[in-house]
Amino acid sequence: MYKDQTLSELQGAVFRCVKCGMCRSICPVFQIEGSEASVARGRLALIEEFTRDKLKAGDNLARVLSSCIMCGRCQANCPNLVEVVKLIRSARAELVRFMGMPLSRKLIMELFYSRKRLYFAFKVGSWLQKFLLRRIPKERGLRLRYPIPLLNRGIAFPPIARDFFLHRYSSTRIAPNERMKVGFFAGCLINFVLPEIGISLLEVLTKNGVSVVVPAEQGCCGLPAFFSGMTELANRLNQKNLEAFQGLDIDVIVTACPTCGEALKEYYELVNKRGEKIEVLDISQFLWRYKKLFSFPKFTEGTLTYHDPCHLKHILGIYEEPRQLLKMIADGKFVEMDEADLCCGFGGLYSFFHSQTASAINKRKMKNIKATGANIVVTACPGCLIYLRHGIQQEKLPVKAKHLIEVLKG
Ligand code: SF4
Ligand code: SF4
């Protein structure tokens, strides 16, 4: 269940920051914007003032808090283990309580609760994109054809899929020679934008004797609503997903999106048919743990490099498994990039609302990818994949971006 910290809990936790400033060399936003208000130390100082009633809730504080991309790199490197992401998120929820939320954003978020309305909105979007957007070089993304208020013309929109993953693939896929059975939580980006990731996952698992249950009634994990301060909506979504997965005959749920993985691991209590807790594993963890069950085709198309999704590495601590899997198939053709765990700039809605900073962060990532000389950059997050492809197109790099499971499928 999603839960907010109270103001006094928030005040107590903010005190853990000893203001050493080590986060200044770590934060991707500070590297671009360079002001104290754009780094964990400065943001926490303002939250402290707010909790002591020395700073009023208002647009300035809201702007400072919304300018954090929530990558978690600072907290993963903080000597005092300050939970920066949780604190900023809780402060955002407090601000929503004081100031409310813009109606347009509230309506968009509420869409995610109603399955029917959400599917209808994406169907309409998929139809409208033919007229409102134009394709920028093949398969890479879409650009606004006409100016639309509030939307930046420089943003690359990922095309909405024609067939949504859950429409076509929700059911139980029984593997020939079944050795295990798992559940799959798809998440919105795989469902509506990149269904090929889910299709690859089903293929890899079932080919190797792992049956997969994909409940049709699953929906948004709720974390984007929770991060925006809409805790009540996040819990309604949580409840729906619990109903979809509760009581299934599985011990494990796999995810291919670190945001969904984080939500399910940290905020859900899932129980199977036998009343036992269901374990949630990122697909890289699952495949590495059970690698003896799997045979993967060798990678022969050049050189691979890997970009760490922020929430996978900095929040869930998963970074060895994807690398081990890639090294296993690449026969020495794997090369590390500099700052592999630096954000790509996506951050969900961050890249829409803070497109200039997001773009500048992305440029740095592109420079690091280019320096490796690799022709494939692999990641383990659909959101990163969208933004890496955007950057590659902008910089005209001779590189393809792929999800780990697509590379393992061969
Ligand atoms: S958040 Fe951590 S690293 Fe940053 S100033 Fe505070 S204690 Fe230091
Ligand atoms: S979560 Fe990321 S963007 Fe936010 S303060 Fe920490 S390092 Fe900077």
Q: Which ligand is nearest to the CA of 64?
A: 2
User: What pLDDT is recorded for position 103?
Assistant: 79
Collect contacts of 131-139 with beta carbons under 8 A, ≥24 apart.
133/157, 133/159, 135/159, 136/393, 137/393
Cα–Cα distance, 22 to 78 (Å, whole number) = 7
Cα–Cα distance, 31 to 390 (Å, whole number) = 21
Q: Whose CA is nearest to atom 5 of ligand 2?
A: 40
Q: Which ligand is nearest to the CA of 41?
A: 1
Strands 172-173, 133-136: pairing is: unpaired
Q: Is 57 exposed, middle or buried (0-12, 13-18, 19+ CB in 10 A)?
A: middle
CA of 41 to the centre of ligand 1 (A): 6
Q: Which of 270, 280, 262, 299 is nearest to 374 (CA)?
A: 299
User: pLDDT tens string for the chain (410 positions)?
Assistant: 998 887 778 888 898 999 999 999 999 999 999 999 999 999 999 999 998 888 888 888 999 999 999 999 999 999 999 999 999 998 998 888 888 887 777 887 888 777 778 888 877 777 776 666 666 554 556 665 555 555 555 556 677 888 899 999 998 899 999 999 999 999 999 999 999 999 999 999 999 999 999 999 999 999 989 988 889 999 999 999 999 998 899 999 999 999 999 999 999 999 999 999 999 999 999 999 999 999 999 999 899 999 999 999 999 999 999 999 999 999 899 999 999 999 999 998 888 888 899 999 999 999 999 999 999 999 999 999 999 998 998 899 999 999 999 999 99
CA of 405 to the centre of ligand 2 (A): 28
For 296-409, CATH number?
Answer: 3.40.50
Q: What are the extents of the domains in the chain?
A: 7-99, 296-409
Which ligand 2 atom sits nearest the alpha carbon of residue 27? 7
Lookup: tokens for 369: 């990818």
User: What pLDDT is recorded for position 123?
Assistant: 79
CA of 21 to the centre of ligand 1 (A): 5
Task: Decide whether any atom of ligand 1 lies within 6 Å of the 15 Cβ.
Answer: no
User: What pLDDT is recorded for position 351?
Assistant: 86
Q: Which ligand is nearest to the CA of 72?
A: 2
Q: Which of 313, 220, 213 is nearest to 254 (CA)?
A: 213
Match domain 7-99 to its CATH number in 1.25.40.390, 1.10.1060.10, 3.30.930.10, 3.90.1300.10: 1.10.1060.10
Q: Which residue(s) pair with 325 in the sheet?
A: none
Mutating to test ligand 1, I would choose from 17, 39, 85 the residue with most ligand atoms within 8 A of its C-beta, which is 17
Q: Which residue(s) pair with 291 in the sheet?
A: none
Task: Decide whether any atom of ligand 1 lies within 6 Å of the 56 Cβ.
Answer: no
Q: What is the pTM of this model?
A: 0.91
